[in-house]
Structure 1
């Protein structure tokens, strides 16, 4: 037993480092899709609704596949899941780059990229972390994984814009597909499955697991609130670069704004992970959503300039993925680590449904009105709703996942 624990303690830093690099690559590439809005639509003469729908499909497919990916990681291991996801993700980028039709855009940039992101994302990495890390340290380690994803956004956004300027958008997508192949050797470090702890319940079928989970009121509130997070993130990621160009700024400002979001989210994610172990997680989440409302409202009131764009990006970055560590920690706390991959996956599905509407409505509203204002205002209203949803959440373990647990 001692040797086993010693081996696990040696392996844990390797698991965390490899998982963080995987999260950086996967989310970093994904965070650049908004930079392709203008060059892609300009080359083919498509409206922004076309490109927005492709990325809306991507977000929805990502959400739909996430519970499946989480279940696969729980059952078959993280390495196989991540490797399969990386291959599918790269194939989607190649089809997006070389297809040249709306159908290829929807299939490559939408369906295949969505499947790939969902099975090679930080959510799958966090499921591995959740099984390997003691309960009292999970929130902080989830923050590390989330911060690594943001570091990827900070690195890839400006590089992506420079590549587009220098090589064109198709070649940039091909280069990014090559980068995703690095996930294959890195995933080997996450090979195998961590033994379940005393927190685990008896083996449950998928249907029974979901039936019990969705009878837990706090989980339902958490899932509903996560919809709003997805709406905010996807709209800003995809449409803010084009919005800033519409306001008279250069495309480079948009890329650096995305990079700043990623940079400041490193601080925000680590801070949220730390605070999630110190303060009630539901109140932390409510304060994050309310802060988003304030930051967005101020951004819309102040005339848009490079300074205001960068300030908005910095403050938004502090709140960007700060919702993820406490949300993941709450799911793990409700149900234990054994089913975290699948049940966090279903929470994330709600997040991605929100992403679908954030991206799609952004394109539709702009094409119909020539402005993004209505979607900005809708985001503010949804932020207020999310604030209210999180306040009544209780951190208590679900009784339906506690009855069969051994005494602790």
Structure 2
């Protein structure tokens, strides 16, 4: 890949992708293992599954709600400070998750602190850096590579978390993960951008930034985005992505245990999701450079619905779980590169982290409902069956509303300038 020609010294491509992928590996990998702690924590404290699900749901909601603000901060000051904040908040939140004995404290640490940490250290912030340092033609592929490499963390961290749980008590295992989360901070040095001045934290005026974005201020960019039908459709579709992934990621281990499958079935399933996620994320990014990205998104949501339908209708076994995990893993975060690339094409890169954060907020509202509602309905009905059917129906809806999306758009302010 080639770099943007710019006087502000873009981050070298290898450094950009390596550091971005390792940060996402840590942040998303740790998060991906949280389903393994549902039963140990609820049994230790005498809580219900809804109690644990509520903390996870709030985590997702805080992550999404803070995303646009943190994205604005990253767009304005660069990712470096944001990532350091994420590392510290992640470690503090995991320590609290390990030590909180009251549900309120558990929600504050596991829900609020880790939610803020994830907003500071995952795709919205990393893709903002990537978008500013590669050309428009390379953007989807670069995001796909970052997502694919970062997805390896989900494959790596689940067995690590499972090993820790089987060789020490659950609270000590979480403290080990807290120490691991601090690695995000040093990796942030690899994503420092020269275009952000150290004194004022403002973007420096460069040929690259001015050439790509004679764009409006943050509030005006938000107003324009909310007037854009296709941006709203993209945002609505991402709600479904969050619902499906959060439900499966948190509740699949307990679903399998409820059906008397051995404990290693859940660990293997989550690890397979992470492994095949590497393939799916890379493929989605690469295809996004050649095909219409809204078609890719529509296909992903439809195939997810079909995979879940086959899973709940087929006899449950370790083989069916493995096949389902491989299929869902291929489709897991494959929505991320095309979604963020569409946002960049619609509205430019100056406010990419902020506008991507708004879309991601919808994803996290879906995550909140997917996690909490699954726990609520399980406690009420003793089964996850209703939630599976709801996730399938939402997948078909998302496949439909992504079809009419148009990727290209001239912002309103540029039309005025041109006139």
The TM tier, using the shorter chain, reads over 0.9
What corresponds to 1:201 in structure 2?
214
2:4–2:10 CA contact under 8 A, matched in 1: no
- Whether 1:254 aligns to 2:255 is no
Offset at residue 192 of structure 1 (A) = 2.4
What corresponds to 1:289 in structure 2?
301
Structure 2 unaligned blocks of 5 or more: 196-207
2:10–2:133 CA contact under 8 A, matched in 1: no
- In 2, distance between residues paired with 1:208 and 1:122? 24
What corresponds to 1:306 in structure 2?
318
Offset at residue 373 of structure 1 (A) = 0.4
- In 2, distance between residues paired with 1:168 and 1:54? 21
- In 1, distance between residues paired with 2:8 and 2:411? 33
Structure 1 unaligned blocks of 5 or more: none
Offset at residue 255 of structure 1 (A) = 1.4
> What are the residue-to-residue correspondences of 1:2-401 with 2, within 5 Å?
5=6, 8=9, 11-192=12-193, 194=195, 195-204=208-217, 206-400=218-412
- 1:232-274 Cα deviation digits (max 9, x unpaired): 1000000001101111112221111111001001000000001
2:224–2:411 CA contact under 8 A, matched in 1: no
Question: CA separation of 1:274/1:306 partners in 2, compared to 1, >3 Å: closer, same or farther?
Answer: same
Question: CA separation of 1:405/1:397 partners in 2, compared to 1, >3 Å: closer, same or farther?
Answer: farther
1:231–1:359 CA contact under 8 A, matched in 2: yes
- In 2, distance between residues paired with 1:103 and 1:272? 40
1:198–1:405 CA contact under 8 A, matched in 2: no
- In 1, distance between residues paired with 2:10 and 2:131? 14
- 1:47-67 Cα deviation digits (max 9, x unpaired): 100000000000000001111
- 1:308-363 Cα deviation digits (max 9, x unpaired): 10100000011001111110000000001111110000000000000000000110
1:202–1:404 CA contact under 8 A, matched in 2: no
2:215–2:414 CA contact under 8 A, matched in 1: no
Offset at residue 3 of structure 1 (A) = 12
Question: CA separation of 1:80/1:300 partners in 2, compared to 1, >3 Å: closer, same or farther?
Answer: same
2:280–2:331 CA contact under 8 A, matched in 1: yes
TM-score by length of 2: 0.93
Offset at residue 85 of structure 1 (A) = 1.1
- In 2, distance between residues paired with 1:3 and 1:115? 31
Question: CA separation of 1:76/1:102 partners in 2, compared to 1, >3 Å: closer, same or farther?
Answer: same
RMSD (CA atoms)? 1.8
- In 1, distance between residues paired with 2:71 and 2:8? 25
TM-score by length of 1: 0.96
- In 2, distance between residues paired with 1:9 and 1:210? 27
2:152–2:275 CA contact under 8 A, matched in 1: yes
Question: CA separation of 1:103/1:192 partners in 2, compared to 1, >3 Å: closer, same or farther?
Answer: same
- In 2, distance between residues paired with 1:394 and 1:4? 28
- In 2, distance between residues paired with 1:189 and 1:233? 30
